[in-house]
A = this chain, B = another copy of it.
Amino acid sequence: MSASLTIALDAMGGDNAPAIVVKGADLARRRFPGVRFRMFGDENRILPMMKRRKRLREITEIVHTEDAISNETTVSVALRKGRQSSMQLAINTVRDGEAAGVVSAGNTGVLMAMAKLTLRTLPGIDRPAIAAIFPTIRGESVMLDLGANVECDSENLVQFAIMGEVFARTVLGTVNPSCGLLNVGSEEMKGHAEIQQAAAYLRQMTETLNFYGFVEGNDIAAGTTDVVVSDGFTGNIALKTTEGTARLITEFLGDAFRSSLSARLGYVLARRGLRKMRDRIDPRRYNGAVFLGLTGIAVKSHGGTDAFGFANAIGVAIDMAANRFSEKITEDLEAFGNFDPGPVEAAVS
């Protein structure tokens, strides 16, 4: 990692801001020596928290802002009146090349809109997508879009596949990552027309992209492919269904261990292994959804996360910057562009 890598932080976003941002930055500092922060927010609230964090204070430039975007702020109001907000100013720093990436736990819709307008989309990308890493039986995979685009056409889906592939390769370090299109059946004839068209197009790209074909909902956690591509509606439902199911089983597991004295003792004996298991599926560990398709790095932290989770979101931004994600995706989009077999519709046989 470059010694001069700076990350811009929106200190005012998230349920427990600015505390989780300051504490999260302090955790990330220890994990990534050499990182520096530019923190945007209310100085009067941030500075007192820095008093006992001398090391963090030394590597952090605090930029005082009066304005902050709340979770209730609509996109249109935020874009009109939020130009001096901590979120917008943090994003500007990335545009101006003064920070390698920005992390915010604030309003997702506003963050996406501001990042898109300020950082702009990469050449060849119509719409950015939200991507995240998740645990699978085989290891880790990346899924996109998780909610930025409720409606997607086949060209969007193809672009998501390319971006997901580059992300898996450069950030996760996966060799020749496989891509799957989320569908209701693995048969060629099933699913929406857009998915059929995207699949037909991706099948023609097999020399450059390792397209697996269709995957189903159960393939996500199975890790059947390294990249799972879907429209933002379906991806968001799948992501949140996973969260809900994990919570249900954890709840039932708690009931099981409370069901008898013997079970309680069993829990104590198995505790170390169970903690390791909990860590493997800990949502805080996978915190940090990435906006792919922009000219700069923007990471959205879950609003309700804690310092450990926020530090992981910072880690995602640092990993992307250190692996030169933006440069690589630009190169790859050019390479993929050279294989362009014409409009997507023409690819359907």
A residues near B, CB below 8 A? 135-137, 147, 150-151, 182, 184, 190-192, 216-222, 230, 232-234, 236-249, 251-253, 255-260, 262-263, 265-274, 276-277, 280-281
Residues of B within 8 A of A217 (CB): 236-244
The SS class assigned to the A binding surface is helix
Cβ–Cβ contact B277 & A272, under 8 A:
no
Cβ–Cβ contact A190 & B150, under 8 A:
yes
Cβ–Cβ contact A219 & B244, under 8 A:
yes
Cβ–Cβ contact A135 & B182, under 8 A:
no
Q: A249's contact among B220, B237, B249, B273, by CB below 8 Å, is which? A: B249
Residues of B within 8 A of A267 (CB): 266, 270
Residues of B within 8 A of A218 (CB): 240-241, 243-244, 247
Residues of B within 8 A of A255 (CB): 273, 277
The number of times this chain is found in the oligomer is 2
Q: A256's contact among B137, B230, B256, B273, by CB below 8 Å, is which? A: B273
Closest to A270 in B: B266
Most chain B CB inside 10 Å of its own CB: which residue of A151, A184, A219, A262: A184
What are 28 A-B contacts with C-beta separation under 8 Å?
Answer: A136-B248, A137-B247, A137-B248, A216-B236, A216-B237, A217-B239, A217-B243, A218-B241, A218-B247, A221-B245, A233-B234, A245-B246, A248-B281, A249-B281, A252-B280, A252-B281, A253-B274, A255-B277, A256-B273, A256-B277, A257-B270, A257-B273, A259-B272, A262-B269, A262-B270, A263-B272, A266-B267, A266-B268
Residues of B within 8 A of A266 (CB): 265-271, 273
- With A137-B247, A244-B218 as contacts: A233 and B276 at CB distance below 8 Å: no
Residues of B within 8 A of A280 (CB): 252
